[in-house]
């Protein structure tokens, strides 16, 4: 006789919240998600609210399609695709790889994104870049009628130096706002600026060393660095702050710079093409050789 058939055991519950916490830890081990998952947290909470439970093993493709359609009622297709669906797809794929789930129901849940239409060149024109550099070079913080400066020193420093450093290095503005004092150093007779993931987030993932242009040095940047306290030069983060806090502080400073340029009507570039609201400054007057072999580089700053 055959033994009596036994019912298939139901899969054990897999907490979505616990999955997310463990996923963040796993990503941080390899140097990712230095913000501690702050950007993705609203995504996970949105999914849990929609599902009405916290069990990842019960998620179906139908659930995710319904969630996607609900999101599209208030969010753009690009946001739903590149932030919401992408985050959940990555989380559940990691859960499969880590033997937490047997399959990824989000694997084939997609949302087409509209084709981007440009009304102008995505970068700053020479005229715009020159105006930004001149404004940055001459920046002085506003003073109240009582003679008080209400702007914090890191913000003053960022407005004075960040656009210029972008222009003469090709670095992204977010890479500059997280720059630390120890990232500027001398090798032989050259001063070097190091863009490193140790300071925050870097687009390409690894570090790179950029020789500082002689005109940036002539502007007094090295003197500014030498007089600065240890730690971040342009954000409110402290030298011993955890990576997530340092990334958050640098991102906040980036937003303040973007708002400042917008107020001055110098931020006319399509912000969708920018790095957090401020695109890399690239203009014919200041996009050249960082070693100073082109005499016209930086002329847009009024530096001879």
Average pLDDT rounded to a whole number, residues 28-36: 81
Proportion of the chain above pLDDT 90, given as a percent: 42
* Separation CA 278–CA 256 (nearest Å): 10
Quote the pLDDT of residue 203: 63
* Separation CA 79–CA 61 (nearest Å): 19
Average pLDDT rounded to a whole number, residues 237-262: 82
C-beta atoms surrounding 279 within 10 Å: 20
Q: What share of the chain is helix, strand, coil (3-state, %, to 5)?
A: 45, 5, 50
How buried is residue 74: exposed, middle or buried, by Cβ count under 10 Å (0-12/13-18/19+)?
exposed
* Separation CA 163–CA 279 (nearest Å): 10
C-beta atoms surrounding 242 within 10 Å: 12
What is the residue-averaged pLDDT of the chain? 80
Predicted confidence band of residue 272 (pLDDT cuts 50, 70, 90): very low
The stretches of the chain forming alpha helices (DSSP H) are 16-29, 41-51, 61-71, 77-79, 86-97, 126-137, 153-169, 173-177, 214-218, 221-227, 243-263
Tell me the per-residue pLDDT of 166-224, one tens digit each, with 9 for 90 and over.
Answer: 888 888 888 898 899 999 999 999 999 998 887 777 766 678 899 999 999 999 999 99
Both structure tokens of 1: 């006789």
Average pLDDT rounded to a whole number, residues 263-292: 43
Both structure tokens of 45: 């909470």
* Separation CA 288–CA 242 (nearest Å): 36
Tell me the per-residue pLDDT of 79-120, one tens digit each, with 9 for 90 and over.
Answer: 999 999 999 999 999 999 999 999 999 999 999 887 777 666
Tell me the per-residue pLDDT of 89-99, one tens digit each, with 9 for 90 and over.
Answer: 999 999 999 99
* Separation CA 286–CA 299 (nearest Å): 7
The better pLDDT of the pair 221, 275 is held by: 221
pLDDT at 25 over 70: yes
Contact 232, 154 (CB under 8 A): yes
Of 197, 200, 219, nearest to 208 by C-alpha is 197
Predicted confidence band of residue 300 (pLDDT cuts 50, 70, 90): very low
Predicted confidence band of residue 266 (pLDDT cuts 50, 70, 90): low
């Amino acid at each position: 006789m055959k033994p009596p058939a036994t019912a298939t055991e139901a899969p054990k519950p897999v907490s979505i919240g616990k999955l997310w916490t463990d996923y963040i830890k796993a990503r941080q081990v390899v140097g990712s998600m230095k913000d501690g998952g702050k950007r993705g947290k609203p995504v996970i909470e949105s999914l849990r609210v929609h599902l009405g439970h916290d069990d990842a093993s019960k998620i179906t493709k139908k659930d995710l399609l319904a969630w996607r359609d609900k999101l599209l009622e208030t969010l753009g297709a690009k946001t739903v695709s590149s932030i919401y669906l992408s985050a959940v797809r990555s989380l559940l794929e990691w859960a499969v790889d880590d033997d937490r789930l047997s399959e990824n129901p989000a694997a084939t849940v997609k949302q087409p994104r509209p084709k981007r239409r440009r009304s102008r060149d995505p970068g700053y024109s020479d005229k715009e870049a020159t105006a930004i550099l001149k404004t940055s070079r001459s920046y002085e913080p506003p003073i109240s009628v009582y003679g008080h400066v209400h702007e914090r020193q890191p913000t003053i420093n960022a407005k004075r130096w960040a656009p210029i450093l972008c222009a003469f290095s090709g670095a992204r503005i977010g890479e500059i706002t997280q720059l630390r004092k120890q990232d500027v150093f001398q090798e032989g007779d050259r001063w070097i600026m190091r863009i490193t993931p140790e300071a925050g987030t870097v687009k390409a993932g690894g570090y790179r060393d950029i020789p500082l242009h002689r005109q940036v040095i002539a502007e007094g940047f090295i003197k500014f660095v030498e007089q600065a306290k240890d730690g971040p030069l342009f954000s409110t983060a402290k030298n011993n702050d955890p990576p997530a806090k340092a990334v958050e502080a640098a991102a906040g400073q980036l937003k303040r710079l973007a708002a400042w340029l917008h107020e001055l009507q110098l931020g006319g570039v399509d912000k969708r093409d920018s790095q957090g609201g401020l695109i890399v400054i690239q203009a014919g007057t200041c996009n050249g050789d960082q070693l100073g072999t082109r005499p016209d580089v930086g002329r847009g700053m009024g530096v001879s």
